[in-house]
Amino acid sequence: MKTIPAKPTKIRFRILALVFISVVINYMDRSNISVAASAITEDLHLTSVQLGLIFSVFGWTYAALQIPGGILVDRFGPRVLYTFTLITWSLATVLQGLVKGFAALFGLRLLLGAFEAPAYPTNNRIVTNWFPDNERASAIAVYTSGQFLGLAFLTPALVSFQYYAGWQGLFITTGLIGIVWGIAWYFLYRDPSAHRSVNEMELAHIEKGGGKINTGAVDSNAKQSFQWSDLKEVLSHKKLWGIYIGQFAVNSTLWFFLTWFPTYLVKYRGLDFIKSGFLASVPFLAAFAGLLLSGFLSDGLLKRGVSIGIARKLPVIIGLILSMSIVGANYVDSPMLIILFMSIAFFGNGFASITWVFVSALAPKHLIGLTGGVFNFMGGLALVIPILIGLLVHDGNFTPALILIGSIAFIGACSYIFLVGKVENIEITRTS
């Protein structure tokens, strides 16, 4: 008879570290275009409208394939799917370093969005499988922080690397890193029920706390065929629309920082290229701090008996309200004050970024992947933001663009206040 150790293992935290690294690579490959934008614009002779299209085109396929991506996660599970997507989006990144014109770069950004589409539904599936409810906001905060912490430290490094290796070398190198990690993921990741190192006590801790340890690809329920009634179901509830609208708002601010922000500092506020790389890292550090504070605060409130509605919604609402401060940058000229307003806004964006916790908390239990796909699709519609900014700033005035972003953050806060309602899983009965 197998002896059960006195303490539960903590394999779930190793898994969380793997997801964190994947998120860092994910955002490095989608945001390196913002670092390279000035050089690419000069070499390929792009207009501001063309640059806005290049910034946003990733989001076209990324948003369009969120729902299929969620379905694939429900059906096949994270191990094989993440391996495939990591390698293919990284190949698309490498090829961006070889382009000679607008059309080729446009097409490869489309491919990048397509292959990255299942990433966040996969992340949510992993955390839902591996973490109990009262640890899930913290886990989501930790892996999501990879997008901020990675870029905070990588942005100056990428700027410096491009300075010496050119924008072509930047894309090739970042893409090769992702290919290597994609291969490593296949050998390192397992679902809870298939992981050799996890013990029964840890599995019991996860399952007793609401973790869904048997919802991976090995689960027969997860392999049920897709029904159009499922999609209708996840589009028919007001509370789900509350988080869909909120995610659009959160992503609108994020899209600005991932695309136009370095160009805003250099072209519209007159900072030199190298200095902008270091200053641009400050708001990302603020977002990182906001996200971790939000996740641990939310779980801490829940453990202290605060209702799940307050514990989960309050950080998101506060964060979206803080994001509105981005408008203040319109009314100052000092680089330090500009960065201050940007940092407060991005801190708020990070503070609001535990939104994925609502997918597990609200979705019908057998439709978590599909709900996550719809949720990320709605958020992905923020792809219009870089295009709108390109149109709004064509005359050299960035003021309307920042007002737009602040206004959308306000709408997002209202959606959580008035639409989400009671935080609990939607109960439905599926017919075969």
pLDDT of residue 218: 41
Q: What is the C-alpha separation between 292 and 287, in angstroms, rounded?
A: 9
pLDDT at 150 over 50: yes
149 or 225, greater pLDDT? 149
The phi-psi region of residue 311 (left if phi > 0; otherwise alpha if psi is between -120 and 50; otherwise beta) is alpha
State pTM to two decimals. 0.72
pLDDT of residue 321: 97
Q: 11-418 maps to which CATH number?
A: 1.20.1250.20
Contact 187, 195 (CB under 8 A): no
pLDDT of residue 222: 44
Quickly state the pLDDT bin for 432 (edges 50, 70, 90): very low
pLDDT (tens digit per residue) in 311-356? 999 999 999 999 999 999 999 988 889 999 999 999 999 999 888 8
pLDDT of residue 87: 96
Q: What is the C-alpha separation between 255 and 10, in angstroms, rounded?
A: 35
Average model confidence (pLDDT) for the chain? 85
pLDDT (tens digit per residue) in 260-287? 888 888 778 877 655 556 777 888 889 9
Mean pLDDT in residue range 79-91? 94
Helix (H, G, I), strand (E, B) or coil at 345: helix
Instruction: Name residues whose C-beta falls within 8 Å of residue 393's C-beta, 6 or more positions apart in sequence.
Output: 48, 268, 400, 401
φ, ψ dihedrals at 199, nearest 5° = -100, 175
pLDDT of residue 277: 61
pLDDT of residue 247: 95
Mean pLDDT in residue range 100-127? 90
Mean pLDDT in residue range 391-413? 92
Instruction: Name residues whose C-beta falls within 8 Å of residue 82's C-beta, 6 or more positions apart in sequence.
Output: 22, 118, 119, 122, 182, 185, 189
pLDDT of residue 219: 44
pLDDT over 90 percentage in the chain = 34
Rounded to whole angstroms, what are the CA distances from 372 to 57, 142, 162, 193, 389? Answer: 21, 18, 35, 22, 27
